[in-house]
Homo-oligomer: A and B are copies of this chain.
Amino acid sequence: MDKYQELLSNVIDQNKLPTLNYKAGDVLFHQGIVESKLFWIKSGLVKLVFIQPDGKEFVKAFLAENDLSGSLMSVVFHKPSPYACICIEACEVIAIPYKKIRDWSEKNPQLKDVELQFMQQLTARKEEREYQFLCLTPQQRYETFKVQYPHIFKRISQAELALFLGITPVALCRINARLQALVE
């Protein structure tokens, strides 16, 4: 359990926050709504999705056990979240108002470093994704994902993965076929 998880545990204990249960398909928070709570995933798997006016869906991220879900835009800047958070599997989740974390952080100034550190890690992950979109082909992104996140790879549909990689499910299927052809 790292420093940030410790901080969250304290906030949860202090405020007696309950564990919530969701089932696959449930929505943790909606797109277009200001949601200033953070969601600590205790178990299960969720996706963050952009849904376009024309119905097209894009997957921003997959989050699983011990990940922290939420919308930076909402939580920090009080703007509507540009994406929704939807359960792929049944989930146990603890909802934490961001204000509680800020309050706790005021009373324990040394924890501001932990908050900063958390934000830095988040930024590092975004840097990686930015790099992949800019410099790698969809096929390379696919192969990288498979080796980097095998535990998530096993739990999502090919279609969901395609929408995360920025291509259509049909295109991902063709990539698979190409890779298969190389083996033979």
Task: Name A residues whose Cβ lies closer than 8 Å to a Cβ of B.
Answer: 50, 52, 56, 58, 60, 72-73, 76-77, 82, 109, 112-113, 115-116, 119-120, 122-124, 126-127, 129-131, 133-135, 166
Contacts of A122 in B (CB 8 A): 123
With A60-B134, A134-B166: A120-B50 Cβ-Cβ less than 8 Å: no
Q: Report the 3 A-B pairs with minimum CB-CB distance, sorted nearest first.
A: A133-B133, A126-B126, A112-B112
**A52-B115 Cα distance, complex, nearest whole Å:** 34
Chain B: CB-nearest residue to A117: B76
**A119-B124 Cα distance, complex, nearest whole Å:** 11
Say whether A135 contacts B77, CB under 8 Å: no
**A66-B4 Cα distance, complex, nearest whole Å:** 32
**A116-B122 Cα distance, complex, nearest whole Å:** 12
Beyond A50-B134, A119-B123: 13 further Cβ-contacts under 8 Å?
A: A50-B135, A56-B135, A73-B127, A77-B124, A112-B113, A116-B119, A122-B123, A123-B126, A126-B127, A126-B130, A129-B130, A130-B130, A133-B166
